[in-house]
Amino acid sequence: MEQKTKSGFSLYVNSSESVQNAIVLREKKKKYRKILLIGLAILCIMTFLIYRYRTYHTMSSTKEISKEMSDSTQSFAYENGTICYNEDGISFLNSKGETEWNKTFSVRNPISSYCGDYIVVASKSGNEVKLLDDTGNMKSLTVSYPIIDAEVAEQGVIALMLQGDDGNYIELYDAAQEKLVSIKTTPTQNGYPMDIDVSSDGQNLVVSYLVVDGIETKSRIAFYNFGNEGKEKEDRLVAGFDFKDTVIPKVSYMGNSRVSAIGDNELVIFKAGSKPSMKKEIEINESIKSIAVNEDYAALIVEAKESEEQYEARVYNRAGRQIMSHGFSYEFNKASLGDGELLLIGSYHCSILNFAGHEMFRHDFDKRVLDISPTGKARRYLVSYESGMELISLR
């Protein structure tokens, strides 16, 4: 490298050899960077595949909980633990299997739903309603007519469908048990209510009706709005959609923006809100054996027609796109959705599938299983038996 000096500062002029060295160094850096990026990509892919297709072969008992259970005992994942309830009461167990609170009551044929911190337990065909928050604080409500269905919003608003003497009633109550709305429906004008659900903000309600017109039957999905948009509408009904030759027994809000309606031969996705619209209609040609829905996904277990397996599990996202399919032939009593997984629960058997359709875990139990529920911790579940409960971890 040659150096020239002028007026107190230096000028450097690269020789051809220095330029060549710089080019070689730059090419080496590019090569190393490329190798590093390829290595990182391979590592990411391997990590993804290990996570996606990992199989757990054993389970360990973390804790046994001595508690007499009945066949009516139900459980579901709630916050960082599990809710268990039956006709005699309700309790919350954290992810360690410790009982944080327990409430006793007498509610015959209990049905339950939760949203946010609030849980509602109601007596199906009875008149009793219990509202609980995450601390176990419980409030009671008695209604005038038998309860068909009960749902709750994240601020504690309770939505009830009641069976009256000459029609049915949709009633909303706030967390202080004050009646907010009462709407009467009749079989001739609306149909027979099959299912209801309320949006998490408590502003919208969806109802599935069975409409009988002579020898013809159809399902009607009705949307109600309790905000400003519904004020000018009769009975706050903002939209209705009819479906011929199908029965739709299940409607669910998937967040505030989507609603799924599952019939005996189709899955329908609606855009929710003040101006509902139908976004996708998916034909189901097989007989549906079981369903499970949460805020993000809808799972259908159908009897397989074109497969050697007896059943097929399918999972759809909010847009109605099928993201998973898995065939199986063992019997089960219940399907439930966890965090990125589908649980298939039998009397002495359980199987856990991830959304790649991979069976992560399968186990046969020595005792009759009443229910299995995810907890707030990954790969940890609460198993309910007749003689008590057991907290298990997958290995």
pLDDT in tens, 276-311: 999 999 999 999 999 999 999 999 999 998 889 999
Same domain, 374 and 299: yes
Are the C-beta atoms of residues 359 and 55 closer than 8 Å to each other? yes
The pLDDT of residue 64: 87
Residue 8 has pLDDT above 60, yes or no: no
pLDDT bracket for residue 50 (50, 70, 90) = low
Distance CA 159, CA 251 (A): 14
The pLDDT of residue 2: 47
Same domain, 362 and 297: yes
Distance CA 379, CA 339 (A): 10
Residue 236 covered by a domain: no
Give the chain's domain count.
2
Average the pLDDT over 85-112 and give the result: 94
Residue 162 covered by a domain: no
Residue 253 covered by a domain: no
Residue 344 covered by a domain: yes
Same domain, 24 and 84: no
Residue 357 covered by a domain: yes
pLDDT bracket for residue 44 (50, 70, 90) = confident
Same domain, 294 and 324: yes
DSSP characters for 234-279? GGGEEEEEEEET----EEEEETTTEEEEE-SSEEEEEE-SSS-EEE
Residue 183 covered by a domain: no
User: For 128-187, what is each residue's pLDDT tens digit?
Assistant: 999 999 999 999 999 999 999 999 999 999 999 999 999 999 999 999 999 999 999 999
Residue 278 covered by a domain: no
Residue 384, token pair as written in the block: 């309910």
Residue 42, token pair as written in the block: 């391979």
Residue 140 covered by a domain: no
Same domain, 296 and 360: yes
Are the C-beta atoms of residues 353 and 362 closer than 8 Å to each other? no
Can you give the residue range of the structural domain that contains 17? 2-42
User: For 252-277, what is each residue's pLDDT tens digit?
Assistant: 999 889 999 999 999 999 999 889 99
The pLDDT of residue 376: 77
Q: Which residues contact 211 (CB under 8 A, 6 or more apart)?
A: 190, 191, 192, 217, 218, 219, 220, 242
Same domain, 303 and 337: yes
